[in-house]
Amino acid sequence: MMSTYIFGHKNPDTDAISSAIIMADFEQLHGNKEAKAFRLGEVGPETQYALDYFKVEKPELLTDDLSNQTVILVDHNEFQQSADTIENATIKHVIDHHRIANFETAGPLYYRSEPVGCTATILFKMYNERNYEIKKHIAGLMLSAIISDSLLFKSPTCTEQDVKAAKALAEIAGVDVEEYGLAMLKAGASTTNKSEKQLLETDAKSFNMGEHTVRIAQVNTVDIDEVIARQDALENEMNKAIAEEGYDTFVLVITDILNSDSKILVAGSDKDKIGQAFNTTLENNTAFLPNVVSRKKQIVPPITEVLS
């Protein structure tokens, strides 16, 4: 039997990495012994904290040509966020919680998308629906993904389903949600030891919005000013990416995980419209966005609306 490749999006976050590992376990329990988790980028410090805590190896970096291979996508569906050869693969399943865009397959597939805060929450439900055992390390990764995507339940994307799942998973994993969650988020929040390029690439996604291609990166921190102090260098890297990759606009979202606010830094041709999206005017290419923490729910929709 040929391997089934399972992976999340490029520049993977904790949900993308964890959900690939979890889905591989689910498939193996379902009889697909050749299912294997992969990653499409480097593992960030927050994700590495979770992997180390629950003693799980990071997935192998995917370098294979996926032409005529069977794949399962988790935590994404848009092809520009996926593997380079995804258009030539046979997509067996998609498990996701994002918008559906630029997605097309030649044949039928199992597609499960739910408006919850985290892909791992959907996977938690799938295990329960089949009465599959959730092992301690799998529960730990599910919990870590939910904490990450919901910013410890502060994000507007967080639902009661996410909270309920997290409480049940914390018992299986044997951790205190608040204590573990804050430690994990802080592990990924230090920015002083990262280059500007690393800050812009660690958690970044590309979106087609009408005739515009927008790159949106997000950095979680406990000190927004620590990141903004590097504005000139960050803008240079953003403009370089725009020129090399053909983006129209690059938006960096700097999120304070303790106070649940964000500041955006914008480069590119659509700066005025980005300000309009948030009913504000950019000052020195920046704007403060109170109570904004979610790229999926609070950043992408308003920008899409003004650019489409």
**For residue 211, which of 269, 153, 157 has the smallest C-alpha distance?**
269
Q: Are strands 204-209 and 249-256 parallel, antiparallel or unpaired?
A: unpaired
- Is 270 marked as a binding-site residue? no
Q: Please report which residue ranges of the chain form alpha helices under DSSP H.
A: 14-29, 45-53, 119-129, 136-150, 160-173, 177-187, 196-201, 224-228, 231-245, 271-277, 300-307
**What is the residue-wise DSSP string for 169-206?**
HHHHHT--HHHHHHHHHHHTT--TTS-HHHHHHTTEEE
Cβ-Cβ contacts under 8 Å for 277 (sequence gap 6 or more): 302, 303, 305, 306
Largest CA distance in the chain: 57
**For residue 11, which of 277, 261, 241 has the smallest C-alpha distance?**
241
**What is the residue-wise DSSP string for 87-136?**
GGSEEEEEEE-S---S---SS--EEEE-SSS-HHHHHHHHHHHTT----H
Which amino acid belongs to residue 54? F
Block residue for tokens 């480097």: 42
- Is 97 marked as a binding-site residue? yes
- Is 25 marked as a binding-site residue? no
**For residue 78, which of 101, 108, 111 has the smallest C-alpha distance?**
101
- Is 9 marked as a binding-site residue? yes
Cβ-Cβ contacts under 8 Å for 140 (sequence gap 6 or more): 50, 53, 54, 56, 169, 173, 175
- Is 232 marked as a binding-site residue? no
Binding site residues for Mn(2+), as ranges? 9, 13, 15, 75, 97, 149
Binding site residues, as ranges? 9, 13, 15, 75, 97, 149
